[in-house]
Structure 1
Amino acid sequence: MRKGANVSLSALGEDAGSVVVSLGWTSASGAGDADVSVLLLDENGKVRSENDFYFYNNPAAPDGSVQLLGKTPTDSGDEDRISVDLTAVPADVARIVVAASQYGGARFGDLDDLRMTVADRSGEPLVGFSIEDAGVETAFIFGELYRRGEEWKFRAVGQGYETGLAGLATDFGVVVDEADEADEAGVAGGSDETAEAEVKVLGDGTTGSGGSAAGAADTLEGAGGAVAGGVVEEAAGRAGDSPVPAVPAQSRARSPRTTRKKVTLPKVVGKSLAENDSWRPARLFPVPALKSDREREVRATSVLLAVMAQVPELGRRLTAGFGAPAGRMQTFTEVSLPHGDTPRRPDGVIRVERAGKLWTALVETKTNGNPLKAEQVQEYTDIAARRGYEAVITLSNDVALDGAPVVDVRIDGRRKHKVSLWHLSWAEVAHQTQLLIRHEGVANAAHAWLLQELLEYLQHENSGCHGFQNMGPAWVPVRKGIDDETLSVGDPRAVEVVESWERLIRQVCLRLGGELGQKALPVQRARRGSDPRARRVAAAERLCREGRLTAELRIEGAERVIAVTADLRTAKVRTSVDVPAPAGSYPLTTVKRLLRMLAEAPADLHVESLVEGGGGPRGTLERLRPEPADLLPKDGAQLTGFRLSLIKGTGTARGNAESGFIRSVDDAVERFHHGVLAHLGGLEPRAARKG
């Protein structure tokens, strides 16, 4: 896009309700860096309160609408990513400004390839913008997301500031407090390295410049003439009435961070003091041979709710998407609530207090693959409506599709108080726990240990919290119908199997993402606005005709899409990825480079040459390593790329046994990522040597 242009996000992709914004740059010396910041603005173009300014000391919004995901190193610079859930942005927020600032006398003119990219939740890029005129500026507004009626749009801004973060923030009603910097630094004497000022609310609500977000009205969209593909809008000129936050003043040198240290458990386990392998470490949440499903449910509910109340990071993360406010959380189990002649006892209750107001959710739990009962959830929904509670949360091994509840309940439209029904899977709980303790860290060592104990409990075979583990009652009849070729197109059981397959793929993404510390999401290649039901019916028809289930998934930050195909006729699952060949390179040189990159890959990896007009030569990595020329296309055909595939046999059991179908798919994706994708780089030819 050009500077000043704007575009509707909904016109770019079907799934634009949640986006990932990336700011990137390169540096010839490799030393260039910048800090990103996000500001939520009202209709006046000002922050509403201290909670509307997000930067390294305040990286996430309590409601989950904004989260700074941190830096991803590149070959010669960094890329900073920001998750923005547009569906969770408060209604009185009109614009979301994305900016970056430098420190220590650095200027944006010292960086190259300044760019901003907006992608959907699957990682598919929607729109990009490059800044080509950076010079002495120490802060830049890259772009902004803003409302127009019921839709969100993106504007390429590219507005620079020579006054750094302080000057930029002042334009949005943020006041810079530079007092007591030496005290903040915690150093004595005349240290050259001053600290950043404390972020605190100043109640005067004044600004230093009264300027607009983009610096001038003629670069914005609204009333006026057309500018660079968009129309212009009045600049906001007055401050809001809400208290405004102060931001750290930039210093000449890199200042110490004022956040608490993040605690992440070490990946390498310390040396054990046990005499032999039969000694088992003591666990906070022991998992003995539980005798009944009821015992598993009671234990799992109590363990999870207790940790949520004691570890605010986990409690907030699991409830923010359900509308819970950020506040003091308390959890309860086996609470007796009146319901006709017989009181009902939900498995748990979550209460959050914020500013004297209570948010309450009833929790219904199932473990060990047991299904939720619609009549039971209906009773809790009715109780919540009568008592003025906000939500009912179901928790089981099942995985919800399209954000819809797993069970259907009847909502009485005559009631003024509405109750929201939400679903959470045990796989999602384990995923969020892994992200916190293994990748993001928490602010307290005891909290990190509690999360580790929770994860150990969830992953224990006796806990019953393993996640989605049953393909449903239609699985065996459909597989039998495929084997004996009696399954006909239009059989409703095939649609049930497709739905179970989608749930399995979503769980595979959760487990892989939790291990890698990055989002992994299914890729839906469907037209914008298409009906999910129609998509599943079409997939069911292909299953009946071909006997195969297919899916694609993308790992955030990765260029390539993993294709997963389960062939029920041959009882094999194939994981594959396509690697394009660089233009202008010698085919044999390209093949040799590919094989060198795959030196640590499994020997049974299948490599196929892709040529124009059809498939090319293929073979296993073990056979091709001594004879790379066997992969060259015949008859001078143009080499376009390669397809790398691993093939694994699937089990026939429906449960979670080691030989089961579900475990086979999970293991196949994990093996393919760690054994193949982790070793792949680009096939671009090396630069020619000078002289």
Structure 2
Amino acid sequence: MVKGANVELAGLSEEIGSVTLGLRWSSATGDGDADVSVLLLGADGKVRDDADFFFYNNPAAADGSVQLLGKTPTADGSEDRISLDLEATPVDVERVVIGASRYGGGRFGELDGLRVTLADRTGEALLGFSIDDATVESAFIFGELYRRNGGWRFRAVGQGYETGLAGLATDFGIDVDDTDDTDTVSAEAAGAGTGDGRPEETAPPPQGPVGAPLPGIPRQVERRTAETGTAPASAPVPAPAPSSRPRTARKKVTLPRVTRKPLAENDSWRLARLFPVSSLRSDRERETRATSILLSVMAQVPEFGRRLTAGFGAPAGRMETFTEVSLPHGDNPKRPDGVIRIERAGRLWTALVETKTNGNPLRAEQVQDYMDIAARRGYEAVITLSNDVALEGTPLVDVKIDRRRKHRVALRHLSWAEVVHQAQLLIRHEGVGNAAHAWLLQELLNYLQHENSGCHGFQNMGPAWVPVRNAIDTETLCQGDQRSLEVVENWERLVRQVCLRLGGELGRKILPVQRARRGTDPQSRRAALADRLCQDGRLFAELRVEGTSGILAITADLRTGRLRMSIEIPAPEQGYPLSWAKRLVRQLAEAPADLHVETLVEGEGVGPRGTLERLRPEPGDILPRGGERITGFRLSLFKGMGSTRGNAETGFIRSVDDAVHRFHSGVVAHLERKPSRRQPTGATGG
């Protein structure tokens, strides 16, 4: 589409009851990002109230009409997805505006590939609109959906704001709160999700997105406790100032981070669990039990069930789940592992579920049968669930879709690692409706993370791993070898799983950085990485951790058998080099003594270097002697990597997981102790 054009959605697809919008952008450095937002407008072109503004602190509507699904990596950046249930949209909402804003002084002109796409319920892309004239704008309206003659249309807008999120919000009737930095967090924000038994009056702010008094506000839209510098857990929260303004989120319940002292007489006693796992003997038992446990918790905890199904085009409504359902298919009936049914306004949305545990792969012929059954019976989706991680452009199973059928079925994949990630976000950071729901999710987590459940996530680098490592050792690996491409694909799966695991622990978005030229397809990008693996024997990845200024880099050197975790810190704009070095050493007082510190020098790359143990008594040793200009510091930790391809204690996958966790908790976390405040751009005047 071109700017200003509009199109009727019903003319593009019959499956537009719910749609998914994707907002994309990329940057040459890999660290450019923005936050999406959605506004519901009445006939007067204004929001009905402040709760009609959906953003990072208000990500979902109670009626399910809007849900921000978060970011997913693409070949050259990331995509922020939004689920809109048009059938659930209130009748007095005439327009749905889709926008995004940058923070920290960023401008959209610094980003490449600004684009919005819209897909129907089956996941088929219907339209796209690219913005190629962005310059100094810090907020943009990408497009809008609006009612016309009983249907919905989409308009490509492409309107920018130099005044950022506050300017955009004010245009549509949001009452912007521009109070100064002495304002306190609201009682709801401060008391939400403590779950630790303390009174709400003195409980610390939760470690996750919380309800804000008003959207788009610098002081009362608190991004995350760790990012905004809120008082530590030991400090009481001041009483809130009286306010008649509405809150955008209800109180939530999270579980305490520190477990209570058990009442057991000795360590051999084990807590009784709702979902016992020790009796499992076969993969079939694991698949059956894992499916039943997951589906039952999805039905009983609405926030969790909605979180997992919204991205598949499911509406918000009453959910029921079933296992071991027999469905006719020729002479032999088929029994999918599970069925999900959601009722809304008298209509049913149905998905078949096929589950695998441990390293068991999905079978194409089995999934094909379920796709055919779903198409004949008018079901909406087939969901596959396994330890494997789906990659863009590389389907896990190849199925044939009959385009002649009027009813189309969406094939979607969910990994066990993503299930664990979403459960952790809810009970540790964002909160659920009540304590019983939080307890159920904790029991689910306990089951999935048990060593006997078979749901540990991606856990095998594949049959090519050992031959490729041996060929690298003997220098016989040639470019174009298909085995190296298989290793690169599995490395990408591992990296994405690392992002899910660390993101669940921290309650932050963590995405792999994809540094590729715009327009590069995923297969070409992986082929280039496979050629680099053949040349230098290294696997490389970069992670962008929300709230962290630098990019976390992972290098696996298959020649030396070592992992390197590193992050580059830019030099401060003010002060003297010696004071920079002393401050850095103070920040890293609790970091591992074997941390390597390198000085980055303008024009010459790397200057002096040394271990933290050697630099602690003499921080000045890290400064260049010739007076060269310092551009930053690189911090690195090294670790031996596992030799086997699996997830055992001696395996490569476990070694990467442990290295990332140790580096973030031992190094990066210390650099974030005094983070700068992150505010919506334009909230203080642009």
Do these two structures clear the TM 0.5 threshold for a shared fold by scoring above it? yes
In structure 2, runs of 5+ residues without a counterpart are 1-21, 71-78, 88-93, 115-130, 146-153, 176-240, 676-686
User: CA 1:365 to 1:642, structure 2 compared with 1: closer, same or farther past 3 Å?
Assistant: same
1:147, distance to aligned residue in structure 2 (A): 5.0
Residue 678 of structure 1 is matched in structure 2 by 669
1:21, distance to aligned residue in structure 2 (A): 2.1
Residue 225 of structure 2 is matched in structure 1 by none
1:11, distance to aligned residue in structure 2 (A): 7.4
| Whole-angstrom CA distance in 1 between matches of 2:66 and 2:80 | 5
Residue 595 of structure 2 corresponds to residue 599 of structure 1: no
- 1:40 partner amino acid: L
Residue 650 of structure 2 corresponds to residue 659 of structure 1: yes
Residue 490 of structure 1 is matched in structure 2 by 480
| Whole-angstrom CA distance in 1 between matches of 2:319 and 2:436 | 18
Residue 35 of structure 2 corresponds to residue 21 of structure 1: yes
Aligned with 2:557 (options 538, 552, 567): 567
Residue 160 of structure 2 is matched in structure 1 by 155
| Whole-angstrom CA distance in 2 between matches of 1:468 and 1:274 | 35
User: Greater shift after overlay, 669-678 or 631-640?
Assistant: 631-640
| Whole-angstrom CA distance in 2 between matches of 1:476 and 1:93 | 56
Describe the superposition over 1:535-592 as per-residue Cα deviations: whole angstroms up to 9, x where unpaired: 1000000000100000000111221110100001111110100112124532222211
Kindly indicate whether the alpha-carbon contact (under 8 Å) linking 1:581 and 1:683 is maintained by their aligned counterparts in 2: no
Alignment of 1:627-646 (within 5 A): 627-646=618-637
Q: Secondary structure at the match of 1:640?
A: strand
| Whole-angstrom CA distance in 2 between matches of 1:146 and 1:258 | 24
Alignment of 1:409-448 (within 5 A): 409-448=399-438
1:412, distance to aligned residue in structure 2 (A): 1.0
User: Greater shift after overlay, 37-46 or 264-273?
Assistant: 37-46
Kindly indicate whether the alpha-carbon contact (under 8 Å) linking 2:137 and 2:160 is maintained by their aligned counterparts in 1: no
1:519, distance to aligned residue in structure 2 (A): 0.6
Kindly indicate whether the alpha-carbon contact (under 8 Å) linking 1:14 and 1:528 is maintained by their aligned counterparts in 2: no
| Whole-angstrom CA distance in 2 between matches of 1:257 and 1:598 | 39
How many residue pairs are counted as aligned between the two chains?
544
Residue 40 of structure 2 is matched in structure 1 by 40
Residue 528 of structure 2 is matched in structure 1 by 538
Residue 17 of structure 2 is matched in structure 1 by none
Kindly indicate whether the alpha-carbon contact (under 8 Å) linking 1:65 and 1:85 is maintained by their aligned counterparts in 2: no
Residue 86 of structure 2 corresponds to residue 85 of structure 1: no
Kindly indicate whether the alpha-carbon contact (under 8 Å) linking 1:122 and 1:522 is maintained by their aligned counterparts in 2: no
| Whole-angstrom CA distance in 1 between matches of 2:156 and 2:474 | 50
Q: TM-score, normalised by structure 2?
A: 0.72
Kindly indicate whether the alpha-carbon contact (under 8 Å) linking 1:335 and 1:347 is maintained by their aligned counterparts in 2: yes
Residue 263 of structure 2 is matched in structure 1 by 273
Residue 306 of structure 2 corresponds to residue 316 of structure 1: yes
- 1:146 partner amino acid: G
Describe the superposition over 1:645-681 as per-residue Cα deviations: whole angstroms up to 9, x where unpaired: 0001011112211121001111111111111111115
- 1:659 partner amino acid: T
Structure of larger gyration radius: 1
Provide the identity percentage: 65
| Whole-angstrom CA distance in 2 between matches of 1:652 and 1:370 | 22
Q: TM-score, normalised by structure 1?
A: 0.71
Residue 683 of structure 2 is matched in structure 1 by none
| Whole-angstrom CA distance in 2 between matches of 1:268 and 1:609 | 38
User: CA 1:94 to 1:530, structure 2 compared with 1: closer, same or farther past 3 Å?
Assistant: farther
Kindly indicate whether the alpha-carbon contact (under 8 Å) linking 1:607 and 1:619 is maintained by their aligned counterparts in 2: yes
| Whole-angstrom CA distance in 2 between matches of 1:615 and 1:160 | 39
Aligned with 1:282 (options 272, 276, 282): 272
Describe the superposition over 1:8-64 as per-residue Cα deviations: whole angstroms up to 9, x where unpaired: 976765999x97428xxxxxxxxxxxxxx8523489846699995548996514668
Q: Secondary structure at the match of 2:626?
A: helix
Residue 460 of structure 1 is matched in structure 2 by 450
| Whole-angstrom CA distance in 2 between matches of 1:593 and 1:56 | 33
Q: Secondary structure at the match of 1:168?
A: coil
- 1:539 partner amino acid: L
- 1:443 partner amino acid: G
Residue 189 of structure 2 is matched in structure 1 by none
Aligned with 1:304 (options 291, 294, 297): 294
| Whole-angstrom CA distance in 2 between matches of 1:586 and 1:599 | 20
Alignment of 1:54-65 (within 5 A): 54=54, 59-61=59-61
User: Greater shift after overlay, 378-387 or 605-614?
Assistant: 605-614
User: CA 1:642 to 1:378, structure 2 compared with 1: closer, same or farther past 3 Å?
Assistant: same
Residue 622 of structure 1 is matched in structure 2 by 613
- 2:81 partner amino acid: D
Kindly indicate whether the alpha-carbon contact (under 8 Å) linking 1:10 and 1:151 is maintained by their aligned counterparts in 2: no
- 2:480 partner amino acid: G
Describe the superposition over 1:354-403 as per-residue Cα deviations: whole angstroms up to 9, x where unpaired: 11000000000000121111111111111111111100000000011128
Aligned with 2:328 (options 329, 338, 345): 338
Describe the superposition over 1:607-647 as per-residue Cα deviations: whole angstroms up to 9, x where unpaired: 11111313211111111112222212133322221110000
Kindly indicate whether the alpha-carbon contact (under 8 Å) linking 1:41 and 1:93 is maintained by their aligned counterparts in 2: yes
1:604, distance to aligned residue in structure 2 (A): 0.7
User: Greater shift after overlay, 584-593 or 656-665?
Assistant: 584-593
User: CA 1:316 to 1:376, structure 2 compared with 1: closer, same or farther past 3 Å?
Assistant: same
User: CA 1:343 to 1:271, structure 2 compared with 1: closer, same or farther past 3 Å?
Assistant: same
| Whole-angstrom CA distance in 1 between matches of 2:288 and 2:29 | 38
| Whole-angstrom CA distance in 2 between matches of 1:383 and 1:362 | 9
| Whole-angstrom CA distance in 1 between matches of 2:331 and 2:567 | 60
Kindly indicate whether the alpha-carbon contact (under 8 Å) linking 1:607 and 1:620 is maintained by their aligned counterparts in 2: yes
User: CA 1:117 to 1:281, structure 2 compared with 1: closer, same or farther past 3 Å?
Assistant: farther
Residue 319 of structure 2 corresponds to residue 329 of structure 1: yes
| Whole-angstrom CA distance in 2 between matches of 1:160 and 1:557 | 19
Residue 500 of structure 2 corresponds to residue 510 of structure 1: yes
| Whole-angstrom CA distance in 1 between matches of 2:652 and 2:293 | 30
Describe the superposition over 1:231-283 as per-residue Cα deviations: whole angstroms up to 9, x where unpaired: xxxxxxxxxxxxxxxxxxxx973568596531111112122111011100000
1:522, distance to aligned residue in structure 2 (A): 0.3
| Whole-angstrom CA distance in 1 between matches of 2:298 and 2:548 | 32
User: CA 1:42 to 1:116, structure 2 compared with 1: closer, same or farther past 3 Å?
Assistant: farther
Residue 370 of structure 1 is matched in structure 2 by 360
Residue 143 of structure 2 is matched in structure 1 by 146
